[in-house]
Chains A and B, each alone.
Chain A
């Protein structure tokens, strides 16, 4: 999935995968932060956006 999204021009950093056990609270917290930071760094998404306030 990540490959094909990258192939059509979507930034790979918008999609993250991780194995986290229910016992790994700390890993979950760290991963969530990393995901947020990575996506925030990319700025607003440019593609696959449908804004119904703007479409006629």
Chain B
């Protein structure tokens, strides 16, 4: 189904839900003010629902907004969710942050979201892009004095290449038909890229990867797992993590945040899409996703029933590290 058709269907569903009073709000995307930047939008009326859209640049994880709202007051809300987002909704339900009844899932099989930085690199870093539209498997990128066709496949987000769950795992209304479950990329070939290196080189890559970090915490704030009322980096008594740009402070933040996502990360890529510096956050987090999959046979948020490995004990849990 073409994106435009999906957008139209989302609008129809949203209008119906809002006019029938089934939900108080529909969380989706609207067109942004700059190319390749669709943005979260909250529609409260059927008229507002007409602003809802769908393109391959809907890169925020909308499950994030379910925990950052007071759902008690808002009542039931609907949210537009691809595979990964639905997995995060499942995660939030399992972690008792929201209840299944509070959320109406408008499921959309993911077309594979695109990376605006890759598009920019494809046409040249110095060029100013003024318009990007989609034409089947191609993007049409326009700017002053140029127009280029870029194949979607070339500019997909890293995590979308290796997606294992494009279709939503929980759905109240599905837009269009289910699609191929994966994009065909092999996650094990690309995840945890530093594993094959020597210890010193691993450290060098790690430090290098985060060298441009400005500690804006967009990766944390865009992440539907990071819903702590007070994040450990914001704790003042005691202060666990220094506030400076010293390498040790910056890296402490990243390594601890990654660790807190163990067994919960759905590899949705929202952190990378949000990062203003284009840092490849997943080079670190993918290690954790991989370990959890290999050690516990678990992938986060695939169903409502299985227990998250970090919150249960089983006698056969791997425990070689305990003396």
User: B194 to chain A: which residues have CB within 8 Å?
Assistant: 7-9
When the two chains form their complex, are residues A11 and B199 in contact, meaning their CB atoms are under 8 A apart?
yes
Count of interface residues, chain B, beta-carbon cutoff 8 Å: 29
Say what secondary structure dominates the interface of chain B: helix
Known: A8-B284, A50-B246. A2 touches B321 (CB 8 A): yes
**Which bracket fits the contact residues of A?**
20 to 34
Interface bits B285-323 vs A (CB < 8 Å: 1, else 0): 001100100000000000000000000000000000111
- Asked if B202 is at the interface (CB within 8 A of a chain A CB), the reply is yes
Which A1-31 residues sit within 8 Å CB-CB of chain B? 1-11, 16-19, 31
When the two chains form their complex, are residues B248 and A7 in contact, meaning their CB atoms are under 8 A apart?
no
Tell me, in angstroms, the Cα distance from A46 to B148 when the chains sit together: 48
Give how many A-B residue pairs fall within 8 Å (CB-CB).
62
Distance in angstroms from B233 CB to nearest chain A CB is 15
User: B249 to chain A: which residues have CB within 8 Å?
Assistant: 50
Tell me, in angstroms, the Cα distance from A34 to B201 when the chains sit together: 28
User: B204 to chain A: which residues have CB within 8 Å?
Assistant: 9
User: A9 to chain B: which residues have CB within 8 Å?
Assistant: 194, 199-206
Say what secondary structure dominates the interface of chain A: loop
When the two chains form their complex, are residues A17 and B202 in contact, meaning their CB atoms are under 8 A apart?
no
When the two chains form their complex, are residues B287 and A4 in contact, meaning their CB atoms are under 8 A apart?
yes
- Asked if A41 is at the interface (CB within 8 A of a chain B CB), the reply is no
- Asked if B258 is at the interface (CB within 8 A of a chain A CB), the reply is yes
User: A11 to chain B: which residues have CB within 8 Å?
Assistant: 199
When the two chains form their complex, are residues B206 and A3 in contact, meaning their CB atoms are under 8 A apart?
no
Distance in angstroms from A45 CB to nearest chain B CB is 10
